[in-house]
A and B are shown apart, each in its own frame.
Chain A
Amino acid sequence: GIQVEQSPPDLILQEGANSTLRCNFSDSVNNLQWFHQNPWGQLINLFYIPSGTKQNGRLSATTVATERYSLLYISSSQTTDSGVYFCAVGNAGGTSYGKLTFGQGTILTVHP
């Protein structure tokens, strides 16, 4: 199956700092999603980005499908950005029928 690696595993920032999270995957995909899991366990959709670049406020993401990686950028971080960030990939239409394979996550802590 598809392997997903996220880095770094842990990240500690001061409020206002910028950061980049990376996701590497081992096979071609037609679904790549970034999630933020809040302290209550809810997975919040950040981006659906199987390829290209998207921006949403202070967050942006880029996926280079041909090189099998994606980046999530967080600018001017806030304490509410704290939590676990997951990258998940899938290949709907292949033998996996579209299930998402998740990375291990990046634990982000933003201090005031």
Chain B
Amino acid sequence: EAGVAQSPRYKIIEKRQSVAFWCNPISGHATLYWYQQILGQGPKLLIQFQNNGVVDDSQLPKDRFSAERLKGVDSTLKIQPAKLEDSAVYLCASSLGVTSGFHEQYFGPGTRLTVT
């Protein structure tokens, strides 16, 4: 079974530029999560989708971050414009779904973003 796929693996941009990350979850997983992991900390949720609807974006800085999950499969996370403090690893995860009764989340390899 293929795992969660993410691209790119690394990205270096200058502040005020824009960047986009892509995630393909495990086949059949209804719930998709984007987490941000700053160096030295545990990951923190940015946004959660159930199929193609947003169920939690309370921690997403909506003035600069946006995310979508068209057709309930792939997802993209965008930052525009980027700030220095956005330097972090962006992790995508998926799970069968809140209503499945089985909640284990699986993570992709992450995208390491450096903003200079």
What residues make up the interface of A, taking CB atoms closer than 8 Å to B?
4, 30-31, 33, 35, 40-43, 45, 48, 50, 86, 88, 90, 92-93, 96-100, 102-105
Contacts and interface: CB of A to CB of B under 8 A. Distances in A.
A98 B109 contact: no
A31 B112 CA distance: 27
Nearest to A37: B37
Contact of B42 (A42, A96, A99, A104): A104
A96 to B, nearest CB: 7
A104 B41 contact: yes
Q: Which of A90, A92, A105 has the most CB of B within 10 A?
A: A92
A17 to B, nearest CB: 25
Contact of A102 (B42, B98, B104, B109): B42
A50 B104 CA distance: 10
Nearest to A40: B109
Contact of B48 (A30, A86, A99): A99
B57 to A, nearest CB: 11
Given A41-B109, A97-B56, A100-B45, A33 B98 contact: no
